[in-house]
Structure 1
Amino acid sequence: MRLLLVALVVLLAGCAPVKDEAVPTVIPSPVSLAVHDGWRDLAEPEVATDASIAAEGYTLEVDGAGIRIAASDDAGVFHARQTLLQLTVDGRVPFVSIEDAPRFAYRGAMLDVARHFFGVEDVKRYIDDIALLKFSYLHLHLTDDQGWRLQIDSWPELTRAGATTEIGGRGGGFYTKQQYAEIVEYAASRFITVVPEIDMPGHTNAASVAYPELSDIPVEPYEGIEVGFSSLAIRSEKTYEFVDDVVREVAAMTPGPYLHLGGDESLSTTDDDFLYFIGRATAIAAAYGKTLIGWHEMGRSGELPAGTVGQYWSYTTPQDGAAEHTLSFVQQGGRVIMSPANVAYLDQKYDALTELGLQWAGPTSIPQSYEWDPADIVPGVGEEQLLGVEAPMWTETLADIQDVEYMAFPRIASIAEIAWSPRRERDFAEFSPKLDAFVAFLDSRGINHYLGFPGTH
């Protein structure tokens, strides 16, 4: 009997509860999470395939017998492992039963590498950051007035001349095709798809510095933060040769289904010219087999290729025709990505005292980033019309990846929750304790974040 008791103690040691262990929470919240009595040491999970589980979804069971994951695809297994990371405390995992699947397939984060350039390792770090929250798309804003950041063989001066500038005058930079492929492959290994953006016809000063024939007016290198002053030469055939070549090369090096053509803040382009350009440029781009995405202003056109996706960036209360322009994408057979600037733009200050960031759409507090729903913004654009949600990070004031992380975290957790978890009434008081635990998780992984949390200011 004595030997039997000793053997039993040894057997249960790996799963006995430890005094004062608190059950961690998970962000984004699973569809269902049941917590049972007991903890065990973290171990390599058993993985099984279950075709009945939704794409990217999974089940996770932790008990005395082991850790088991089931999913219908590799992405689901990966997401289950991210959940397991958050559940782990000092090498131990609570007994849980989880069923989970995403609300939206498109759960995006955008990084502006044009205003300030971020090298390959910085982009990889951000990919690792967002993978923890089960984001599925990384939108790279590759071109703007301040710099062109991607090698284009047929127009080599885009990087020889157009990539040498950035805000602050630090010399800019660009990705070779090999480096871009490295980023794409690295993201894919985390089940994140890269969406490249080549913004036009505005935000094109750097392209015109490289090739002055692309502009109707003289241009000079620009390293400031103003917008709306640049435009391509809309009636020049050279412009459409440029569009064709650039889109062809970008599409060829991008395995994902989407190509973003910008279309925002074309304030120096007349209405007639804007519509003419969008009609021609989108027809050219669509011929290369990608589903196009455009900022919501592109919806001013009624001649978009079928299925073109609109990205909404006005406020939670639509301004200046934004609702009408966004609905236009749906009416033309497309869907919508929601990025309301006053709640989803991560570059907006947390409060008036935040040293980094802008505040033209903010400040945006952490509670504000959580207490909204993408299906409630534009009349006629509900759950069925939404492709998903994206959290953009513009980098006018962000000079390094630590700045980016500081502005992203923990607010980006709110966007992940909205994009992944089932729709519900969102109360920040309920979410706040989860965010507290998540901030501790960030600290454990050395990820920079805003220091004003906890608090609801």
Structure 2
Amino acid sequence: MNLPVIPAPATATAHDGTLIVGAALGVVVQSADLAEVAARFVEDIQVDAGIALSPESAGITLLIDGDGIDDIAPAAGLRADGQAITDADERYGLEITGEGVRVWGRTAEAVHRGLTTLRQLITTHAQDGTAALPTTRIVDGPRFAWRGLSLDVVRTFHAPDVVRRVIDMCSLYKLNVLHLHLTDDQGWRIEVPSRPALTEVGATGAVGDRPGGFYSQSEVAALVAYAAERFVTVVPEIDMPGHTSAVFSAYPELAPAEIRSIDLGNGSSIQLSTLDPDRDETWAFVEDVLDAVIPQFPQSAYVHIGADETWGMSDEAHASFVEQAAALVRARGKRVVGWQEVARAAISSDDVVQYWMDVAEAESADSDKAASMLPPDLLPILVEGLRKAKHDAPKALAQGARLLVSPTTWLYFDRPHADASSDPGQEEARKRVGLPFYPAASIRDGVEWDPVENTPGVQTEDQLAGVEAAVWCETIATSDELEFTLLPRLAGAAEKAWTRQTSTDWSDYATRLGRQSLTWKHRGWTWFQSVEINWAP
């Protein structure tokens, strides 16, 4: 049964008949803890479909119930909020009959996921204030517990209202993690009261002449709450010991005596200097940062410590830093997640290793094309680092850690779009937005892969924490350009993270995807209008 829903549900059984959804229908909850979920659904349907559901009528019933849920296996992986899979069950049921709709699950979060499916069905069938829905019964649940997006707010500072729009996109596609990349060479984006220069000095920059900025503690609290209301956990990343130019600008005493960097020729540079694990000042700084950042993200069980691309740092020093930083995170009651390079240190089986460097791309780093696009001083450093990458996933798995799958080939959205756009005005953006170092990728590329089959050393879903896309903003200067890279790719990432089928039929997916533009139009979101998709008018 081809329902215009992304991600595709695990089971869907069609029945004869239709249900007309319009102003005559209302939402009834049979449990008080579903009231907020219901209210948000009503608001979303008004925005997405232009249908004002009645506040006083029945028709859509929400309840806490386990009917048929166990027909779907529990999710694999780990939750970013630290809850057990059994305690935060996202499996749901949705039944549409000629008399009304019933949505159920064992948790409010599960009911929210079911309502998200119903929301897409209503929006894609809406016309002139009503929607004629096919009668059907769906029982569904996610393949992986961690389904996320990593958002770079450093190279371009994205204001809170932009981040809220991204959270809305995540929620629409059942993604439940927003990983905020808060610090890097170009800027520092979060308050640390004991280290005021981090925001007074370190936050002022971005890439090129883009304005800097940071999130105040009140702004972080509002974003975290907004996300939590939509069952999205915000995970903070403090990138260290590398990517610390902004730190050294704010606190020069933490910098090495000689700071080495390589000019990229595009207004930015790559720094080869790192925090020193042998200095007491380093650890006083790290503790100050963790003590300030951790309380701002109470829903997250994890702190991301970065630890990637420590060019010029010895393997021994890098391992020492990772091990000490991880110990400080654990001492504060949190778990550790880091980019795949953390696997080169001694890590815990409770840690999550974010796999990002595809072996194939690592092997192509010393190609003639790469050589022509990179500064000559950078190429040998980059090749050396990338050649180590093929050992990272096996090392992580050997230590009992789970992998968070974020491969550059399929889940890095900062690569050029390969498809042409049906909107001639987007062709200029297509040439400009996306790192030219990466081969261009089509929308189809984003769904024709599998997180288990295409991750080196992985045999079963239980070895994975989940799936997370990433968007970096070297070439993204505005919110429109951000959305241009996120949509429709974000829907494809959600398909691979949630849907249980290991292979995706392109024709089926493309048909479902084309209907999603109806919601995007109502939301005022920008999306890349690939000629390969028959978009809804």
- Normalising to structure 2: TM-score of the pair? 0.77
Question: Is residue 2:357 matched to residue 1:280?
Answer: no
SS in 1 for 2:175: coil
Structure 1 residues 50 and 382, CA, compared in 2 at 3 Å: closer, same or farther? Answer: same
CA distance in 2, matches of 1:419, 1:23: 19
**Structure 1 counterpart of 2:114:** 80
Cα distance, 1:34 vs structure 2: 2.1
Q: Which runs of 5+ in 2 are unaligned?
A: 28-59, 75-88, 363-386, 420-429
CA distance in 2, matches of 1:383, 1:359: 33
**Structure 1 counterpart of 2:365:** none
SS in 2 for 1:124: helix
SS in 2 for 1:227: strand
Cα distance, 1:96 vs structure 2: 1.7
The 5 A counterparts of 1:79-118 are 79-88=113-122, 89-90=125-126, 91-92=130-131, 93-118=133-158
| C-alpha distance after superposition, 1:291-343 (max 9, x if no partner) | 11010011011x22341100000126474233421232232232110011011
Q: Which moved more, 1:74-83 or 1:312-321?
A: 312-321
**Structure 2 counterpart of 1:18:** none
Question: Is residue 2:261 matched to residue 1:227?
Answer: no
Q: Which amino acid aligns with 2:61?
A: E
Q: Which amino acid aligns with 1:312?
A: Y
Question: Is residue 2:354 matched to residue 1:311?
Answer: yes
Cα distance, 1:252 vs structure 2: 1.8
Cα distance, 1:168 vs structure 2: 2.8
CA distance in 2, matches of 1:371, 1:23: 18
Tell whether the 8 Å contact from 2:18 to 2:134 is kept in structure 1 after alignment. Answer: yes
SS in 2 for 1:97: strand
**Structure 1 counterpart of 2:426:** none
Q: Which moved more, 1:319-328 or 1:110-119?
A: 319-328
Q: Which amino acid aligns with 1:419?
A: A
CA distance in 1, matches of 2:206, 2:246: 10
Tell whether the 8 Å contact from 1:295 to 1:312 is kept in structure 2 after alignment. Answer: yes
Q: Which amino acid aligns with 1:147?
A: G
Cα distance, 1:454 vs structure 2: 2.6
Tell whether the 8 Å contact from 1:228 to 1:265 is kept in structure 2 after alignment. Answer: no
Q: Which moved more, 1:87-96 or 1:282-291?
A: 87-96
**Structure 2 counterpart of 1:31:** 10
Q: Which amino acid aligns with 2:297?
A: T
The 5 A counterparts of 1:14-413 are 24-42=3-21, 43=25, 44=27, 45-51=60-66, 53=69, 55-88=89-122, 89-90=125-126, 91-92=130-131, 93-217=133-257, 224-255=267-298, 256-301=300-345, 303-315=346-358, 317=360, 319=362, 320-351=387-418, 354-376=431-453, 377-380=455-458, 382-413=460-491
Tell whether the 8 Å contact from 1:316 to 1:343 is kept in structure 2 after alignment. Answer: no
SS in 1 for 2:432: coil
Q: Which amino acid aligns with 2:62?
A: V
**Structure 2 counterpart of 1:11:** none
Tell whether the 8 Å contact from 1:112 to 1:395 is kept in structure 2 after alignment. Answer: yes
Tell whether the 8 Å contact from 1:228 to 1:268 is kept in structure 2 after alignment. Answer: no
CA distance in 1, matches of 2:532, 2:460: 32
Aligned Cα root-mean-square deviation (Å): 2.2
Question: Is residue 2:534 matched to residue 1:450?
Answer: no
| C-alpha distance after superposition, 1:158-192 (max 9, x if no partner) | 00100000113233000111111111111000000
Q: Which amino acid aligns with 1:284?
A: L
1:421 pairs, out of 499, 508, 525, with: 499
Q: Which moved more, 1:337-346 or 1:356-365?
A: 356-365
Q: Which moved more, 1:236-245 or 1:33-42?
A: 33-42
CA distance in 2, matches of 1:23, 1:32: 11
Q: Which moved more, 1:436-445 or 1:27-36?
A: 436-445
CA distance in 2, matches of 1:383, 1:87: 29
Tell whether the 8 Å contact from 2:393 to 2:457 is kept in structure 1 after alignment. Answer: no
CA distance in 1, matches of 2:294, 2:400: 22
Cα distance, 1:280 vs structure 2: 1.3
Tell whether the 8 Å contact from 1:142 to 1:150 is kept in structure 2 after alignment. Answer: yes
Cα distance, 1:219 vs structure 2: 5.7
SS in 2 for 1:29: coil
Tell whether the 8 Å contact from 2:416 to 2:431 is kept in structure 1 after alignment. Answer: yes
Q: Which moved more, 1:315-324 or 1:252-261?
A: 315-324
| C-alpha distance after superposition, 1:5-46 (max 9, x if no partner) | xxxxxxxxxxxxxxxxx9851000000112333322323220
Tell whether the 8 Å contact from 2:7 to 2:491 is kept in structure 1 after alignment. Answer: yes
Q: Which amino acid aligns with 1:359?
A: P
Structure 1 residues 193 and 115, CA, compared in 2 at 3 Å: closer, same or farther? Answer: same
CA distance in 2, matches of 1:110, 1:38: 42
- Normalising to structure 1: TM-score of the pair? 0.90
Structure 1 residues 224 and 246, CA, compared in 2 at 3 Å: closer, same or farther? Answer: farther
Q: Which runs of 5+ in 1 are unaligned?
A: 1-21
| C-alpha distance after superposition, 1:197-238 (max 9, x if no partner) | 000111110011000111104569999444353311332110
Among all aligned residue pairs of Structure 1 and Structure 2, give the percentage whose two residues are the same amino acid.
37
**Structure 1 counterpart of 2:512:** 434
Q: Which amino acid aligns with 1:237?
A: D
Structure 1 residues 340 and 390, CA, compared in 2 at 3 Å: closer, same or farther? Answer: same
Cα distance, 1:244 vs structure 2: 1.2
Aligned length: 434
**Structure 1 counterpart of 2:78:** none
Structure 1 residues 341 and 57, CA, compared in 2 at 3 Å: closer, same or farther? Answer: same
Q: Which amino acid aligns with 1:443?
A: K
Tell whether the 8 Å contact from 2:2 to 2:508 is kept in structure 1 after alignment. Answer: no
